[in-house]
Chains A and B, each alone.
Chain A
Amino acid sequence: MAIIEVKNLTKKFGDFLAVDNISFQVRQGEFFAFLGPNGAGKSTTIKMMTTILKPTSGSIVISGHDAIGDSDRARQSFGIVFQDQSLDDELTAWENMDFHGVLYDIPSVIRGGRVKQLLEFVELWDRRDDLVKKFSGGMKRRLEIARGLMHHPKVFFLDEPTLGLDAQTRQHMWSYLKNLNRTEGTTVFLTTHYIEEAEQIAQRVAVIDRGKIAAIGTVEELRQETGTDSLEKAFLKLTGSHIREESAGDFAARRMRLFHGSKKN
Chain B
Amino acid sequence: MFEKIYILWLRQLKRYWRSKPRVIGSLGQPLLFLLALGYGMGAVFQQAGKGDYLDFLAPGIIGMSIIFTAIFSGIEIIWDRQFGFLKEVLVAPMSRLEIMIGHTLGGATVAFLQGVVVLLLSIAVGFGPIGWIEIFPALGIMFLTALLFAGFGVAVASRLNDMQGFQLIMNFLIMPLFFLSGALFPLEGAPKMLLAIAAIDPLSYGVDALRGLLTGSYYYGLPLDIAALAGAASLAVAAGSYLFSKIQI
Contact = CB atoms under 8 A, between A and B. Distances in A.
A194 interface: no
B4 A53 contact: no
Interface string A83-105: 01111111100010011101111
Contacts, number: 77
A75 B91 contact: yes
B248 A54 contact: yes
Nearest to A262: B162
A90 B19 contact: yes
A50 interface: yes
Interface string B1-27: 001100100010011001100000000
Interface stretch (B77-85, B103-111, B209-217): B77-85
Contacts of B248: 52-54
A89 B164 CA distance: 21
The secondary structure that dominates the A interface is loop
Given A103-B93, A104-B93, A87 B11 contact: no
B90 interface: yes
Contacts of A95: 14
Contacts of B87: 52, 82, 86
Interface string A45-74: 001001111100000000000000000100
Nearest to A151: B93
B46 interface: no
Contact of A51 (B3, B7, B15, B91): B91
A90 B15 CA distance: 6
Contact of A102 (B7, B80, B86, B162): B7
B48 interface: no
A100 B4 CA distance: 10
Given A53-B248, A258-B82, A103 B95 contact: no
Interface in A127-144: 131
Tell me which of A47, A51, A52, A89 has the highest count of chain B C-beta atoms within 10 A of its own C-beta: A52
Nearest to A90: B15
B249 interface: yes
B92 to A, nearest CB: 4
Contact of B93 (A75, A88, A90, A91): A75
B188 interface: no
Contacts of B170: none
A104 B88 CA distance: 11
Nearest to A87: B85
A263 interface: yes
A263 B161 contact: yes
A261 interface: yes
A91 B91 contact: no
Contact of B83 (A76, A82, A85, A105): A85
B102 to A, nearest CB: 10
A53 B247 CA distance: 8
A86 B4 contact: no
Contacts of A88: 11, 15, 80, 83, 85, 88
A244 interface: no
B235 interface: no
Contacts of A80: 91
Nearest to A102: B7
B11 A102 contact: no
B89 interface: yes
A179 B86 CA distance: 30
A50 B248 CA distance: 11
6 shortest interchain CB distances as A-B pairs: A261-B162, A103-B92, A86-B84, A86-B88, A85-B84, A52-B249
16 contacts: A51-B91, A52-B90, A82-B84, A84-B84, A86-B87, A86-B88, A87-B84, A87-B85, A90-B14, A91-B14, A95-B14, A100-B88, A100-B92, A103-B4, A258-B82, A261-B161
